[in-house]
C-alpha cells in the first residue's frame, strides 16, 4: 500500500521539475556559460525526464516480461551513457586545450592527442560501456529463460533480482562518481577557463549523494524494498537524470556553438592578444613591457574583468568599478567618458531614494547577478590600445616575437579543430589590428 503515496510523490516532483528548472535557467540567463545553454533546451529535457518517469510507472503497473522491461530500461540508460562518454571526451579535450593556451608548451593537443577525440575512439568507448551494462541482462536471460520471456516479473524464484540490481546500480553510480572526482582533481590546478572544474564538482557531488541515498534507503526499508516503495524513482530519476540532463546533455548540445567554445572569459569579442596573456610565458613577458610603460593597470583590469565574468555578482562588479573605472580610482584605466558614464549609471543608482540596507538597486534591476557583459565595452577599448600602442613594441624583441608567433600557430590549430570562433573572424576587421600583423610578418 505504500506504493500509491510514493507514486504520487514521484509524479509531483517530476511535474515540478520542469517549471523549477526553467525558472532557474531564466533567472541566470545572462550569466555565462548558462546563457549559451538556451532555456528552450530545458523544456525538452524536462519533458523527456517526465516521460521517462511515466514509463517507469507504466512498467510497474503491468506484468511485463523481464527481458522487455530490461531492454526498455537500458535503451534509455545506454543513450544516457553515450551522452556521458561523449561529454567526458569533450571535457578532456577542453581541459587539454586549456593547458595548451595557458602553458605555452611546444606540443599541441592537435598534434599529440588527436587520436583520443576521433570518432573511432568515442564509438569504442561507448560500445565497451554498453556491453558492460547489458552483460547482467544477458546472463539472467540465458540462466532463467522461462522467467525472462514469461509474464511474471515478480516470481518468487527471482526474488534476488532487487538485491542484485541495488548492488549493481550502486556500484555503477559509485564508479561514475569516483571517475569524475578523480578527473576533477587532476584538473583543479588549472584556472577554470571553461567552467570544467565546477561542472565536475556538481556531477561528483550528486553521484556520491545518490549512492549514499540508495544505501541508506535499502538499510531503512529492508523488508519492503526500494522497488516496492518507489523511492528509487525519486532518488535515481530526479537526482541522476535531472542533474545529468542539466549538466551533461545541455552542455554537450551547447558546446557545438561557437559562443560556448569561446568560454565565459574568452568571449566572442576577445582577441588573440587576450588569449596570449592567459599563457604563462606570454603574460610574464608582456607584463615586463607594461611595467616599463607604466601601463600595468591594463593587464590587471583584464584579469579583474575575467574574474567578474566567471562570477558576475554585485560585489565583484563594484570591486572592478571602484578599482579601475571611477575617476580617482587607485588603478584607473584610460577609457572614454561615455563608457565611464554608462558603467557609473549602473552603480550610481544607490542614492535614488532607495534603502540600500534592504534591497540593492542592482538586485532590483538585474537580479542576483549583474550582466556578464557589463565591462565589455571598456575592456575592448583597453585591448584596442594595447594592440595598437604596445604590441608592436613587444614583438620588436626576437624572443617575444617567437613566443607570439608560436602562440598564433597553436591558436590556428585550435580554430581548425573546433572551427573559427567569432573572435577569430571579427578580430581581422577591428580597426588598428593591421599594424601589429604587419610587424609580425616583417619579423618573420
Residue of 423 and 94 predicted with greater confidence: 94
The pLDDT tens digits of the residues spanning 232-254 come to 544 444 454 445 444 444 444 44
Write down the residue that cell numbers 600595468 correspond to: 296
Distances in Å between the Cα of 427 and the Cα atoms of 102, 380, 403, 409, 412 are 20, 11, 20, 16, 13
Q: Identify the pLDDT of residue 78.
A: 54
Reported as half-sphere exposure (CB side, CA atoms, 13 A), residue 372 has a value of: 21
Which grid coordinates belong to 99?
A: 593547458
Q: What is the pLDDT of residue 84?
A: 55
Residue 85 CA to residue 50 CA, distance in Å, equals 23
Cis peptide bond N-terminal to 33, omega within 30: yes
Average pLDDT for residues 402-410, to the nearest whole number? Answer: 81
Q: Which of 319, 328, 282, 281 is nearest to 301 (CA)?
A: 319
Mean pLDDT of 408-422: 56
Q: Is the pLDDT of residue 226 over 70?
A: no
DSSP characters over 325-363: ISTT-TT-----HHHHHHHHHHHTGGGSS--TTTS-HHH
pLDDT in tens, 32-46: 444 444 444 444 544
Q: How confident is the model at residue 265 (pLDDT cuts 50, 70, 90)?
A: very low
pLDDT > 50? residue 162: yes
Assess contact for 77 and 129: CB atoms under 8 A.
no
Q: Is the pLDDT of residue 333 over 70?
A: yes
Rounded to an integer, the average pLDDT of 75-102 is 56
In degrees to the nearest 10, what's the CA dihedral of 382, 384, 387, 388? Answer: -110
Percent of residues, the chain, with pLDDT higher than 90: 1
pLDDT at 129 over 50: yes
| pLDDT at position 415 | 55
pLDDT digits (tens, 9 = 90+) for 336-395: 888 888 888 887 743 333 344 443 444 444 444 577 778 888 888 998 889 888 888 898
Mind listing the pLDDT tens digit for each residue in 55-75?
Answer: 555 555 455 555 665 565 555
Cβ atoms of 400 and 444 within 8 Å: the answer is no
How far, in Å, are 82, 88, 233, 336, 415 from residue 249 at the CA level? 10, 11, 20, 42, 24
Higher pLDDT, 10 or 435: 10
248, 176 in Cβ contact below 8 A? no
Residue 279, φ and ψ in degrees, nearest 5: -80, 150
Of the ranges 126-130, 158-162, 172-176, 387-391, the best mean pLDDT one: 387-391
Which cell numbers hold the place of 183? 578527473
Q: Is a pLDDT exceeding 80 seen at residue 138?
A: no
Residue 364: what pLDDT?
A: 43
Contact 193, 98 (CB under 8 A): yes
Compute the residue count for the chain: 444
Confidence of residue 154 (pLDDT cuts 50, 70, 90): very low
Per the rule left: phi > 0, alpha: psi between -120 and 50, beta: everything else, 337 is alpha
Tens of pLDDT, residues 191-208: 454 555 555 565 556 556
pTM, two decimals, is 0.41
Given a cut of 80, whether residue 332 has pLDDT beyond it is yes
Q: Would you say residue 400 has pLDDT above 60? A: yes
The Cα–Cα gap between 317 and 377 comes to: 14
Q: Measure the CA–CA gap between 243 and 147, rounded to whole angstroms.
A: 34
Average model confidence (pLDDT) for the chain? 61
pLDDT at 301: 92
Residue (of 187, 421, 194) closest to 310 by Cα position: 194
Residue where the block lists cell 570562433: 421
d(CA 335, CA 243): 43
Find the range with the poorest average confidence among 18-27, 34-43, 381-390, 409-418: 34-43
pLDDT in tens, 305-327: 887 876 677 888 888 999 999 88
**Helices (H) and strands (E) in the chain — how many of each?**
24, 0
pLDDT surpasses 60 at 228: no
DSSP assigned state of 104 = -
Amino acid at each position: 500500500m505504500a506504493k500509491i503515496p510514493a507514486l504520487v510523490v514521484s509524479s509531483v516532483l517530476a511535474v515540478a521539475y520542469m517549471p523549477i528548472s526553467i525558472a532557474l535557467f531564466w533567472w541566470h540567463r545572462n550569466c555565462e556559460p548558462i546563457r549559451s545553454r538556451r532555456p528552450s533546451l530545458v523544456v525538452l529535457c524536462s519533458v523527456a525526464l517526465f516521460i521517462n518517469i511515466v514509463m517507469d510507472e507504466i512498467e510497474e503497473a503491468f506484468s511485463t516480461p523481464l527481458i522487455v522491461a530490461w531492454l526498455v530500461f537500458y535503451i534509455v540508460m545506454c543513450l544516457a551513457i553515450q551522452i556521458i562518454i561523449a561529454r567526458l571526451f569533450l571535457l578532456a579535450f577542453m581541459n587539454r586545450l586549456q593547458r595548451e593556451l595557458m602553458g605555452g608548451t611546444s606540443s599541441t593537443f592537435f598534434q599529440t592527442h588527436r587520436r583520443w577525440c576521433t570518432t573511432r575512439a568515442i564509438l569504442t568507448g561507448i560500445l565497451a560501456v554498453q556491453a558492460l551494462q547489458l552483460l547482467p541482462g544477458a546472463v539472467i536471460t540465458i540462466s532463467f529463460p522461462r522467467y525472462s520471456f514469461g509474464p511474471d516479473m515478480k516470481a518468487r524464484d527471482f526474488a534476488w533480482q532487487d538485491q542484485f540490481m541495488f548492488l549493481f546500480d550502486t556500484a555503477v553510480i559509485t564508479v561514475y562518481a569516483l571517475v569524475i572526482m578523480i578527473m576533477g582533481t587532476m584538473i583543479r590546478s588549472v584556472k577554470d577557463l571553461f567552467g570544467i572544474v565546477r561542472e565536475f564538482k556538481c556531477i561528483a557531488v550528486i553521484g556520491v549523494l545518490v549512492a549514499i541515498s540508495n544505501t541508506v534507503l535499502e538499510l531503512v526499508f529492508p523488508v519492503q524494498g526500494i522497488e516496492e516503495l518507489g523511492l528509487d524513482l525519486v532518488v535515481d530519476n530526479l537526482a541522476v537524470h535531472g542533474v545529468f540532463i542539466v549538466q551533461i546533455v545541455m552542455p554537450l548540445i551547447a558546446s557545438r556553438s561557437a559562443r560556448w567554445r569561446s568560454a565565459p572569459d574568452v568571449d566572442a569579442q576577445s582577441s588573440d592578444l587576450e588569449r596570449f596573456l592567459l599563457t604563462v610565458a606570454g603574460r610574464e613577458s608582456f607584463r615586463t613591457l607594461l611595467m616599463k610603460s607604466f601601463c600595468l593597470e591594463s593587464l590587471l583590469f583584464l584579469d579583474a574583468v575575467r574574474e567578474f565574468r566567471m562570477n558576475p555578482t554585485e560585489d565583484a562588479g563594484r570591486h572592478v568599478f571602484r578599482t579601475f573605472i571611477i575617476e580617482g580610482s587607485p588603478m584607473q584605466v584610460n577609457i572614454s567618458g561615455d563608457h565611464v558614464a554608462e558603467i557609473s549609471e549602473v552603480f550610481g543608482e544607490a542614492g535614488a531614494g532607495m534603502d540600500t540596507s534592504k534591497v540593492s538597486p542592482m538586485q532590483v534591476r538585474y537580479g542576483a547577478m549583474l550582466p556578464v557583459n557589463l565591462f565589455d565595452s571598456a575592456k575592448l577599448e583597453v585591448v584596442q590600445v594595447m594592440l595598437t600602442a604596445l604590441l608592436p613594441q613587444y614583438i620588436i624583441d626576437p624572443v617575444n616575437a617567437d613566443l607570439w608567433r608560436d602562440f598564433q600557430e597553436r591558436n590556428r590549430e585550435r580554430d581548425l579543430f573546433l572551427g573559427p570562433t567569432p573572435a577569430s573572424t571579427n578580430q581581422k576587421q577591428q580597426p588598428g589590428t593591421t599594424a601589429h600583423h604587419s610587424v609580425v610578418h616583417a619579423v618573420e
